[in-house]
Amino acid sequence: MRLEVLYILWLRQLKRYIRSRARIIGSLGQPILFLVALGFGFGPIFEQAGGGNYIQFLAPGVIAMSILFTAMFSGIEVIWDRQFGFLKETLVAPVSRLDIMIGRTLGGATVSVIQGIIVLGITLIVGFRPTHLLLLPVSLGFMILIGVFFTALGTAIASKLQDMQGFQLIMNFLIMPTFFLSGALFPLEGLPGALSIITKLNPLAYGVDGLRGTLINQSHLGISTDFIVMGVLTAIVLWIGTYLFSKIEA
């Protein structure tokens, strides 16, 4: 029964994503813009500074960005479900809220990972070339951790919001700073003390660094450290999200 419920919730999230063609196309616009505008615009400057090919450096960060946005939006869909009555139908089902939370999180994470894989394909067209093909499965593991973490985080936040009025606050004060302070656009070496501390407190920084380490062998924090930190933080956020979702009222 439990596996059946998890499968149904996972499949529902996946079908919702596949049917929303406009959402798929729209979510690819920002990664393409970053790759083209920043990749080719700042590329010569980055190369002159001794950083090498900026597309190579930027691509893992853009992949992580696409997963971040898609995962958070998947979590925040709880608000939409509450407003349109879908959440009430789910909560009255004869299953535990733990199963509902896990099913929604796995579904949202799967959608975000698919989005990340699509963006990875786009980076290959732009000119990105992974240096360690054998580590691609490990890269996929980091994508999954990022997806699960931020889907669970989005669900936890949505569990405390009653409507979409707080969504803009989430965008301005959580998602965008998380992305820009993750090292996705700039190296983590040589940062000022305060900024260096902030980036080390940013969960996405470990995901970006892990992707960069497995894809182009440029890890600042260490792949093992990245994986352990992301794994522990994902487990903690899942537990918090499950607790908050268990208290939600439709």
Q: Report the chain's mean pLDDT, rounded to a whole number.
A: 82
Give whichever of 44-48, 54-58, 170-174 has the largest mean pLDDT. Answer: 54-58
At residue 184, does pLDDT exceed 60? yes
Average pLDDT over residues 47-70: 86
Average pLDDT over residues 134-155: 91
Average pLDDT over residues 111-123: 90
The pLDDT of residue 195 is 84
Q: What is the pLDDT of residues 91-110, one digit of tens each?
A: 666 667 777 778 788 888 88
The pLDDT of residue 172 is 72
- Closest to 113 in 3D by CA, of 77, 135, 139, 134: 139
**Domain ranges, ordered by start, for the chain:** 2-246
pTM of structure: 0.88
Average pLDDT over residues 158-178: 75
The pLDDT of residue 21 is 56
| Cβ-based neighbour number of residue 196 at 10 Å | 13
At residue 215, does pLDDT exceed 90? yes
Residues 21, 19: Cα–Cα separation, whole Å: 6
Residues 212, 230: Cα–Cα separation, whole Å: 14
Contact 95, 49 (CB under 8 A): no
At residue 148, does pLDDT exceed 90? yes
Residues 173, 101: Cα–Cα separation, whole Å: 25
